[in-house]
Amino acid sequence: MKSDFYMAITQIAAERGIPREAVMSSVEHALKTVYKKLAETEDNVDVEIDPATGGVRIFVVKAVAEEVEDPTSQISLAEARAIDEDAYIGKIYRWDRTPKDFGRIAAQTAKQVVLQRIRDYERDSVYDEFNDRVGEVLNGVVQRADSRALIIELGKAEAVMPAREQVPTERYRPGQRVKVYLADVNSSKCRRSSPVLSRSWASLASRASAARSRWRRGRRRSIRLARASVFVVFASRTSSTS
């Protein structure tokens, strides 16, 4: 049976649409960092998380080298044979160096990492979804409002419409469907990506679209009239010739 720790990560990843492997990789990387700080070492380490028990084990990993160039990941043949007389160049050794009570530290670290990974993934997903759509008119639903801004739902993302981008004569209510202009996408490592919307630009875009439609209709009408005129002239000349 899988541990509560492992199941929690799996569930959170599934709910937020984040690949479980990405979350686990982030947790393992964080645990390596925590161990190195506790042990005051730069040794090459591996982290193993048992999916059945949730137990975490830390292994120092080194390869036997004829000439040690990196002591954090290599060990000399002489040192290796002092431990194992069958050691040879290229052999990999893994020593369990799991600190006492590391499970409690691991659980706390994992929780923090998972929450941060969720924030990072959601920020990147929103940015990727909307960054190439700046300048488009979108359909949204008003979620809530205050004196500073409107929060509008765009699918799974929440966007903000500052007061300066609202139309003064309009009133907005939760659940109201609105057409909005995507003016920008703010992205920061310290906060979530947030699409910035505008109703004033949406109105301008709508009017511009309507003007273009009227222009196209007028142009088509002018072409039809011009063609009709040419036909009348041609017919008249043909009649005169006859």
Max mean pLDDT among 45-49, 90-94, 175-179, 188-192 falls in 90-94
In terms of Cα–Cα distance, which of 131, 130, 158 is closest to 142? 158
pLDDT value at 183 more than 80: yes
Query: pLDDT confidence of 207, banded at 50, 70, 90?
Result: low
Q: Which residue has the higher pLDDT, 116 or 131?
A: 131
Q: Is the pLDDT of residue 52 over 80?
A: no
Match 């997903």 to its residue by tokens: 125
Q: Quote the mean pLDDT of the chain.
A: 80
Evaluate whether the domain defined by 4-128 bears CATH number 3.30.1480.10: yes
Q: In the chain, what are the domain boundaries?
A: 4-128, 134-242
- Whether residue 36 has pLDDT greater than 50: yes
- In which residue are the tokens 């954090």 written? 72
Does 4-128 match 134-242 in CATH topology?
no
Is the pLDDT at 193 greater than 80, yes or no? no
The two most distant CA atoms of the chain are separated, in Å, by 119
**DSSP line for 115-176:** HHHHHHHHHHHHHHHHGGGTT-EEEEEEEEE-SSEEEEEETTEEEEEEGGGS-TT----TT-
Average pLDDT of 55-74? 94
Is residue 133 a contact partner of residue 159, using CB atoms and an 8 Å limit?
A: no
Is 140's pLDDT higher than 80? yes
Return the CATH superfamily for domain 134-242: Nucleic acid-binding proteins (2.40.50.140)
**Per-residue pLDDT band at 212 (split at 50, 70, 90):** low
Task: Determine the Cα–Cα distance for residues 73 and 60; give it in Å rounded to an integer.
Answer: 8
For the stretch 15-29, pLDDT in tens is: 777 777 877 888 888
Please classify residue 170 by burial: count the beta carbons closer than 10 Å to its beta carbon, then call 0-12 exposed, 13-18 middle and 19+ buried. Answer: exposed
Say yes or no to pLDDT of 1 above 50: no
**Of 115, 123, 155, nearest in space to 12 by CA:** 115
**pLDDT for 198 beyond 80:** yes
Least confident piece of the model among 11-25, 89-103, 158-172, 198-212: 198-212
Res. 170: pLDDT tops 80: yes
Q: How many residues does the chain have?
A: 242
What is the pLDDT, as a whole number, of residue 114? 74
Bigger pLDDT: 60 or 100? 60
Asked whether residue 231 carries a pLDDT value surpassing 50, the answer given is no
DSSP letter for each residue of 218-240 = HHHHHHHHHHHHHHHHHHHHHHH
**Who has greater pLDDT, 38 or 52?**
38
